[in-house]
Amino acid sequence: MNTHTLLSVFLASVLLALEGCNKSEETVVNPPSDSNLIVNGSFEAHGVPSLEGWTRAADDTSFINFSTDVPAGGGSFSVRLKNEWTFPGTISYNVVTRAGTHRYRLSAWAKAIRLGLFAGGEMAILVKTPEGLAFRKQLHFSDSNWISGSLLDTMTTVSPDTVVIMLRGNIDQWSYGYVLFDLCRFERLE
């Protein structure tokens, strides 16, 4: 494994451990009726910005806040995550999936806002099992224009496994800026 992947797995573990300290199993949001298993992938509700269903790594709004800069079809708001050496610019979403082997697609629109030479962020798929946290896939975004990206993954899950969707700003000492995310979707394809 390369250093970036090891750091990603470590920080995801820390994030989920912190989440477990203040959240009970009853706070896991069940999937909505349409094909998107994320209830609030556009980060807004009733005309105002919202992180409903998402877990924040930090309550400080300098790390996690909202922007009116959105991609075409993105509504009124996107989520803005700060690049930091540690993990506070991170949000996660837990999805209780159907047991068995299924193929999934995670997609989102993202845009980097550079305040220095580098900025960006990533989305990742992890699986939380009784044995621990397993990193599946990640996709990095660093373009200063809105771009769409997606990850495909075939996973076998059993009860009480939970799929964790993670969005975060760059985690390194050379990144200065933010990443915006919008129109985040997690769909079961088969």
Q: What is the mean pLDDT of the chain?
A: 84
H or E segment to which residue 150 belongs:
strand 147-157
Say which CATH number the domain at 139 has.
2.60.120.260
Q: Which residue has the tokens 């009860």?
A: 159
CA distance 81 to 2: 24
The 3-state DSSP class for residue 108 equals strand
> Which residue range(s) make up the domain with 75?
3-188
- Predicted pLDDT at 107: 98
The confidence score (pLDDT) of residue 34 equals: 66
In the chain, how many domains are there?
Answer: 1
Among the listed residues 161, 158, 50, 165, the one whose alpha carbon sits nearest the alpha carbon of residue 105: 165
Alpha helix ranges (H) inside 23-140:
none
- Predicted pLDDT of residue 171: 82
Where the chain has pLDDT below 70, the residues are 1-34
Measuring CA to CA, which residue among 112, 129, 126 is closest to residue 166?
Answer: 126
Please report, for residues 106, 128, 155, 176, the alpha-carbon distance to residue 163 in angstroms, rounded to integers and kept in the order given: 11, 6, 9, 30
pLDDT reported for residue 1: 46
